[in-house]
């Protein structure tokens, strides 16, 4: 049985800390995926999912965590939505600049804010709504992502954002499962789906490019970062309201911008600097809202 939604004790500040850890981990994963875009995207996604599954199983065994599933229907909804988001994410990351893809992938908080009100009956405070608007404006100023005709990658990235929101809403509704159980089920589902897509790619295109030693290290790093991110984000959504936690995800764009500047030599200027300031303002609003919620 799940505890009633209203009886769950939220811990907003801890949730934000876990979400920040997830943002760092996913930004690193995305950067590694972008750096290996010469490899077929279904195989990159499969490698990430399979490594995530192996690491999650090892961590669950090490910690003695239960992998029992109480609510199978919602667990499948979460895993299928997350798997859809993953395959869309890897397609977008290998067909768009890192920061542009991250901007569109991180429309998830906007979808979450709407779906949380509809599906979870969670109230959204005025501060969180303002933070969402401020953050979205900041994203537009930084990236000004255009969905020009034929811009399939941009549409796929938006689809990933919506699928991610569905996954997080169902994640919030899971109450009795451990984070390890959630990540293992999701990773197993994603491994099967992306494995099938990889076979389809091989049938259609033949032998893929050879993976170098550097690629192998990158894939391992990608899997490790993704596992840390999944565990952290699972814990975050168990600790606080979906809309507030989801809104913190905007911070991932700042990490993507930093990686773009340091690794790829793309430095923000002009309106992008104002956009960064707005994202930082949004983060401050969310932290203030979380502190008020814990004190109240």
pLDDT single digits (tens) 43-70: 889 988 998 899 889 989 999 999 999 9
Which pLDDT belongs to residue 68?
Answer: 92
The C-alpha atoms of residue 15 and residue 40 are separated, in whole angstroms, by 35
Low-confidence ranges of the chain (pLDDT < 70): 1-10, 120, 122, 142-150, 268-269, 294, 296
Residue 254 · residue 286 · CB < 8 Å? no
Provide the CA 119 distance to its chain's centre, in angstroms: 20
* Spatial contact of 90 and 35, defined as CB atoms under 8 Å apart: no
Helices (H), ranges, 94-212: 98-105, 108-115, 126-143, 152-173, 179-205
**Residue 6: per-residue pLDDT:** 41
pLDDT at 254: 79
pLDDT at 144: 65
- CA dihedral of residues 245, 247, 250, 252 (deg, nearest 10): 10
Nearest to 165 by CA among 96, 73, 237, 90: 237
What's the CA gap between 180 and 65, in Å, rounded? 7
Output the pLDDT for position 4. 41
Quick one: pLDDT at residue 9?
54
pTM attached to this predicted model: 0.74
Q: Where do we find the tokens 């099967």?
A: 192
């Amino acid at each position: 049985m799940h505890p009633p939604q209203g009886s769950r004790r939220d811990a907003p500040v801890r949730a934000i800390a876990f979400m920040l850890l997830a943002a760092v981990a996913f930004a690193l994963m995305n950067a590694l995926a972008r750096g290996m875009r010469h490899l077929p995207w279904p195989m990159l996604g499969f490698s990430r999912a399979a490594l995530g599954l192996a690491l999650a199983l090892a961590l669950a065994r090490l910690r003695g965590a239960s992998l029992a599933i109480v609510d199978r229907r919602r667990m499948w909804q979460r895993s299928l939505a997350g798997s859809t988001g993953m395959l869309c994410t890897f397609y977008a990351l290998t067909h768009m600049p890192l920061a542009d893809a991250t901007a569109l992938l991180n429309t998830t908080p906007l979808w979450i804010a709407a779906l949380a009100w509809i599906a979870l009956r969670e109230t959204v405070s005025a501060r969180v709504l303002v933070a969402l608007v401020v953050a979205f404006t900041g994203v537009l100023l930084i990236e000004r992502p255009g969905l020009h005709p034929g811009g399939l990658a941009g549409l796929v990235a938006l689809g990933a954002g919506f699928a991610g929101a569905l996954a997080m809403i169902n994640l919030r509704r899971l109450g009795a499962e451990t984070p390890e159980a959630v990540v293992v089920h999701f990773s197993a589902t994603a491994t099967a789906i992306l494995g099938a897509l990889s076979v389809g790619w091989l049938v259609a295109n033949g032998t893929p490019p050879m993976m170098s030693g550097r690629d192998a290290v990158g894939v391992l790093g990608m899997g490790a970062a993704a596992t840390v991110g999944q565990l952290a984000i699972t814990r975050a959504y168990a600790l606080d309201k979906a809309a507030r936690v989801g809104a913190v995800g905007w911070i991932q764009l700042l990490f993507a911008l930093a990686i773009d500047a340091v690794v790829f030599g793309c430095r923000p200027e002009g309106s992008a600097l104002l956009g960064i300031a707005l994202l930082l303002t949004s983060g401050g609003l969310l932290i203030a809202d979380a502190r008020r919620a814990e004190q109240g």
